[in-house]
């Protein structure tokens, strides 16, 4: 029996594409039918060299989630420990006249840990999990089902919301059909509206009901909010999404427009009696120059994480092929 021939399905994983052709972590994936030439022994796997990698603006908060490297407090502690460790070789005491003392073993351990974190920053588990999930989706040509009543409500009412916005502003905003990709930043996105006339991005949000809608009045995103602990998960998602769009389309400002529309469970037009300011909430988001600095700082680690995931996947498949060979008669 020619075991090599029977395990020829492994040929499909040879190309890892280390030159930049990596998987698309945060874009919605379309299911594709496998080509007949790719089906071998009842199995097929997508050539990893053909997998694209882009951070989608609508999910960029995942990419930006978690601390990367040292926090401000950790950075300060690192400076203090380094000063204490190496200061004695320069002077007998610090600037306040206090004599330098050698580090304790616990301090030495903390110093080494902080140096490791500073020199080898790691992405959060959310990003790693998304990378692995995307590799699975692309390899098996699957599209994860994200349909629910909330997203369906938002999609269904988006055209009406744009019409509603045009009615109250006197403008003729049109749905943006231009998906823009920055291949250097591995960033991709399509905002609802790009208006060159006012040099701004506009993105429509359709909360499911009046209770969810009215909660949007309680926060502002006009100032820098990177890492602001006072923002909840949804607010951080909006912030990173708008920053992504402004980078992609080079705009200085973005407007988040929340509109209140009837949902499928309501009887009649229950909101018709409400005025404009009862049914529209607008938030202004300024472009944060620090956002792209933080985004870029994470890119190399992101690429490395994707490469690690691909290598791990390939090694697992090779090992499985070898074990199958051992188990065969």
In the prediction, which pLDDT does 232 show? 62
CA distance 103 to 80: 11
In the prediction, which pLDDT does 292 show? 93
285's enclosing H/E stretch is: strand 280-286
**Which ranges in the chain belong to alpha helices (H)?**
3-6, 60-63, 72-87, 105-119, 125-139, 149-169, 210-214, 233-249, 276-279, 289-327
Strands across the sheet with 187-189, in order? 55-56, 187-189, 180-182
**What are 44's two structure tokens?**
């097929």
In the prediction, which pLDDT does 52 show? 67
* Distant-in-sequence, close-in-space partners of 21: CB < 8 Å, separation ≥ 6: 49, 50, 51, 52, 53
In the prediction, which pLDDT does 230 show? 52
DSSP, collapsed to helix, strand or coil, labels residue 261 as coil
In the prediction, which pLDDT does 141 show? 81
DSSP, collapsed to helix, strand or coil, labels residue 305 as helix
CA distance 241 to 295: 12
Q: Domains plus CATH for the chain? A: 1-44+51-61+144-329 (3.90.320.10), 72-119 (no CATH)
In the prediction, which pLDDT does 236 show? 83
Calculated CA dihedral for residues 152, 158, 160, 164, nearest 10 degrees: 140
In the prediction, which pLDDT does 226 show? 52
Those residues of the chain that have pLDDT short of 70 are 1-52, 87-97, 99-100, 220-234, 264-271
**What are 252's two structure tokens?**
């200085």
DSSP, collapsed to helix, strand or coil, labels residue 104 as coil
Closest CA to 174 of 161, 157, 188: 161
């Amino acid at each position: 029996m020619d075991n090599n021939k029977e395990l020829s399905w492994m040929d499909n994983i040879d190309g890892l594409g280390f030159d930049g052709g990596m998987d698309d972590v945060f874009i919605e994936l379309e299911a594709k039918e496998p080509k007949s030439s790719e089906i071998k022994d009842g199995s097929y796997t997508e050539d990893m060299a053909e997998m694209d990698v882009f951070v989608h603006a609508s999910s960029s908060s995942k990419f930006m989630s978690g601390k990367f490297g040292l926090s401000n407090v950790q950075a300060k502690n690192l400076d203090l420990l380094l000063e204490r460790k190496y200061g004695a070789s320069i002077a007998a005491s610090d600037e306040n006249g206090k004599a330098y003392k050698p580090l304790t073993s616990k301090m030495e351990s903390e110093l080494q840990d902080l140096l490791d974190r500073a020199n080898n920053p790691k992405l959060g588990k959310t990003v790693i999990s998304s990378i692995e999930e995307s590799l699975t989706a692309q390899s098996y040509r699957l599209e994860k089902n994200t349909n629910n009543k909330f997203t369906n409500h938002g999609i269904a009412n988006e055209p009406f919301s744009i019409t509603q916005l045009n009615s109250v502003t006197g403008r003729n905003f049109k749905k943006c059909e231009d998906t823009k990709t920055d291949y250097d930043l591995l960033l991709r996105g399509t905002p609802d509206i790009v208006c060159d006339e006012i040099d701004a991005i506009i993105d429509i949000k359709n909360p499911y009901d009046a209770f969810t809608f009215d909660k949007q009045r309680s926060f502002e995103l006009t100032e820098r909010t990177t890492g602001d602990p006072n923002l909840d998960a949804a607010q951080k998602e909006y912030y990173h999404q708008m920053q992504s769009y402004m980078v992609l389309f080079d705009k200085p400002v973005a407007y988040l427009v929340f509109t209140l529309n009837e949902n499928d469970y309501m009887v009649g037009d229950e909101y018709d009696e409400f005025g404009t300011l009862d049914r529209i909430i607008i938030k202004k988001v300024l472009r944060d120059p620090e956002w792209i600095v933080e985004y870029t700082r994470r890119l190399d680690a992101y690429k490395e994480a994707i490469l690690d995931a691909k290598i791990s996947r390939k090694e697992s498949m090779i090992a499985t092929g070898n074990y199958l060979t051992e188990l065969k008669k």
